[in-house]
Structure 1
Amino acid sequence: MNKMVNKDIKDPSIKVKMNKSYTILISLIVALGGFLLGFDSAVISGAVKGITIYFEMTPTMVGFSVGCVVFGAMAGNLLAGPMSDWLGRKKVLIIVAALFSISAIWSALATGYAEFIIARMIGGIGIGGAILIAPIYIAEIAPPKLRGTLVSFNQLNIVIGISVAYFSNYFLVDIGTDSWRWMLGVEAIPAIIYFISLFTVPKSPRWLILKLNNIALARKILMKIGGEAYAEITIQEIQRGIAKKETKGKLKDLLSSKYATIMIIALGIAFFQQITGINAIFYYAPTIFEQAGGSTDSSFLQAIVVGLTNLVFTLVAIWLIDRLGRKPLLLIGTTCMTIALLMATFAFNNATYDFNEKTLEKVNNTEIKMALQDLKGRSFESQSLLFKELKLLLTPKDALEFERNEIKNFIQINDTLVLMAILLYVASFAISLGPVMWTLISEVFPSKIKGIAISVVGFFNSLVSFSVTQVFPWELSRLGPTTTFAIYALLSMCAVLFVYKFVIETKGKTLEQVEELLIRS
């Protein structure tokens, strides 16, 4: 076996028989964290109306109640990397599962706004850990030829979680005034299943060698994945990588010119994944469709279609990522995202707000209906002009009520074009920035700095996501949907240029080969 020291896994003289079913099973169990992440992220979209009424929230409070999960994820991001280096990937994922369980139960039972926020932030910490450590674990146990596909299982589970959340919300919405509690509480079931299942997966072989020098256990795990030859080759490659690293990576190392290319790619992709508005779409899907004139029931149904589209095209991405490659998927996806956002901009730009006897009759609030009589016979070409006029007619409280529940009665828009735009956008994200970002992040960082680097990039990604979800309700109500989608379209166009200029292809390469390529470049 010592003759294999300098051979590559692709060497035709070495026969490696992969135990695909075992590796896939491990990856699926670990990727259940992605399911919880997706469910937790999307379930709030159906609960927004209920919690807004129950906790008597302003638009800023609504934005924070939704975005606080991402705020909690920042803490999870910062803690997850170093903790996974210290305790191991598996133990951190077990802690994550426990946090999801606690958050689901507590947020469903909360009776005060502050209590609700704390419970949601605990879930956010779980999200911060799951979104970083699950891909790292899978990347470290996956053979190079399967790595892109297996890491994408995490993104697949995220979108399954989103879809299940939309279905769950649809079926629970008519339970009554406390339907939001059921929406949030059902997450405890998969969270507990995840917690129990994690005890059946092995520890990361790379972590065992790097941190504990436990080669015997690492070899046993790797043999189960790919046989004796694969285990020996992989161990030797890991050891060669370790031999190049004399000290543990520190935060200041990330600023070194040695890692400049890696950090540009990682931070850039993390930025564009969120700044182009994906979480605004998922968190506020029913709200967007209501803005386009849909009823509550139809907006929830359309949100389900969004979730299913995300699921189908994530499956397409998993099929293509190790065939077509990472960079081509990113270029195709971000280009189509730009087109979709321009379609949405066009649809809302051509919308009008008509005040006539028929539309005014639909208003439920008597005081608002009386105040709006002064607008009878008028039409507004933009939401911002309408809101400017409403400030003169309505109290701040009534204006807020109008924005939440009544504006949909007055909009005249091509709602089919809006739905098509949103579906194209989600499909494009699902084949590109969604799964490929996490695959790249799990591949590009050397073992020396992986723990600290993944935390920094994850924190940055969550910070951008928090900013988007916090600002989105304000953007819709103050800037209007036209300007909001135009901004996202411009940012998506910038993402295309970034991918073309900076992102490199990692398809089919070992983690050590990717490291050598990036550091050398």
Structure 2
Amino acid sequence: MGSREPTAPPLDTPLYISALFASFFASKAATKLGRKITILIASIFFIVGAVLSAVAENKLMLIFGRILFGVGVGFGNETVPLFLTEVAPIQHRGAVNIMFQLFVTIGIFIANLVNYGTSMIHPNGWRMSLGFAAIPAVILFIGSFVITDTPTSLVERGNEEQGKSTLMKIRGVSDVEAEYKEIVAACEQAKQVKLIHKREKRRKKILLLQSFISTSNLQIVFSD
């Protein structure tokens, strides 16, 4: 495979599509598994995707590597900002999220510089370019073992006491009762909203079934 074979469509399109679809599942994963584990999963997809892309022996292998990398992008972009928002103090959350976007932009700029530099290396410059993506992925992987799960994530999964102790650890103070109550209240509201959505979806399914039965002139007796 020459250095000019992997053109933009086979490299970028699978990544963007897989990132889009992965983002739909990342939210559920962050809720069920926690932010920490979901970030770990994202880093693994990043690493495997970058390595597989760098050592690809054909286009199919290269595209598969980009798909895995895209899954990492979807999970990472969904979970990391959520994690930062939940661990940051309320008065600094806006600034923290802006910093996240700033560093993403800086990362894109650095990636373009790397791409420009490796484009002059023949015949395997493109492999170096794709492989270098594993470096920040490894940092993210190591970091996922260092960080703690967020108090909000722990509370919404039923670990209230651990959530409170984690909040005390993050804030560095013992008096976190006010913020802890806000977190508990927010989690309860989120559960109520989800319950309403589930009931609404169930109601629509019942209406659809009733419409089908009426249209088909069928009579079905439901018994408990």
Normalising TM by the smaller chain, what interval? 0.7 to 0.9
1:67–1:238 CA distance, 2 compared to 1 (3 A): same
Distance 2:161 2:136 in 1: 34
The one-letter code sitting in structure 2 at the alignment partner of 1:200 is V
Distance 2:21 2:195 in 1: 18
Q: Is the 8 A contact 2:18 2:71 kept in 1?
A: yes
The one-letter code sitting in structure 2 at the alignment partner of 1:93 is I
The equivalences for 1:323-402 within 5 A come to none
Matched, 1:198 2:106: no
Equivalent residue, structure 2, for 1:218: 163
The one-letter code sitting in structure 2 at the alignment partner of 1:130 is G
Q: Work out which of the residue numbers 52, 55, 73 in structure 2 matches 1:127.
A: 73
Q: Work out which of the residue numbers 74, 82, 85 in structure 2 matches 1:139.
A: 85
Q: Is the 8 A contact 2:152 2:187 kept in 1?
A: no
Distance 1:117 1:251 in 2: 41
Distance 1:246 1:189 in 2: 38
1:54-93 deviation digits (Å, cap 9, x = unpaired): 25x6xxxx42432211111022112101111111011000
Q: How does the TM-score come out when normalised to structure 2?
A: 0.79
Q: Work out which of the residue numbers 152, 175, 179 in structure 1 matches 2:98.
A: 152
Distance 1:240 1:168 in 2: 46
Equivalent residue, structure 2, for 1:185: 131
The one-letter code sitting in structure 1 at the alignment partner of 2:96 is L
The one-letter code sitting in structure 2 at the alignment partner of 1:115 is M
Distance 2:196 2:26 in 1: 15
Distance 1:192 1:244 in 2: 36
Distance 1:245 1:151 in 2: 21
Distance 2:60 2:195 in 1: 36
Q: Is the 8 A contact 2:43 2:138 kept in 1?
A: yes
Q: CA deviation at 1:232?
A: 0.9
The one-letter code sitting in structure 1 at the alignment partner of 2:54 is A
Equivalent residue, structure 2, for 1:20: none
Structure 2: segments with no counterpart, 5+ residues: 202-224
Q: How does the TM-score come out when normalised to structure 1?
A: 0.36
Distance 2:148 2:157 in 1: 15
Equivalent residue, structure 2, for 1:236: 181
Larger Rg: 1
The equivalences for 1:156-305 within 5 A come to 156-212=102-158, 214-226=159-171, 227-229=173-175, 231-244=176-189, 247=192, 249=194, 252=197
Distance 1:124 1:220 in 2: 35
Q: Work out which of the residue numbers 78, 81, 98 in structure 1 matches 2:24.
A: 78
The one-letter code sitting in structure 1 at the alignment partner of 2:183 is I
Q: CA deviation at 1:150?
A: 1.1
Matched, 1:54 2:1: no
Equivalent residue, structure 2, for 1:111: 57
Q: CA deviation at 1:140?
A: 1.2
1:222-277 deviation digits (Å, cap 9, x = unpaired): 22333223x21111112233444555727956x89xxxxxxxxxxxxxxxxxxxxx
Secondary structure, in 3 states, of the residue corresponding to 1:249?
helix
The one-letter code sitting in structure 1 at the alignment partner of 2:162 is L
The one-letter code sitting in structure 2 at the alignment partner of 1:95 is I
Equivalent residue, structure 2, for 1:29: none
Q: Work out which of the residue numbers 5, 9, 14 in structure 2 matches 1:68.
A: 14
1:247–1:110 CA distance, 2 compared to 1 (3 A): same
Count of residues in correspondence between the two structures: 198
1:438-464 deviation digits (Å, cap 9, x = unpaired): xxxxxxxxxxxxxxxxxxxxxxxxxxx
Distance 2:69 2:129 in 1: 15
Q: CA deviation at 1:180?
A: 0.6
Q: Is the 8 A contact 2:19 2:72 kept in 1?
A: yes
Secondary structure, in 3 states, of the residue corresponding to 1:54?
coil
Equivalent residue, structure 2, for 1:99: 45
- Point out which structure has higher relative CO (alpha carbons under 8 A, 6+ apart): 1
Distance 2:75 2:85 in 1: 16
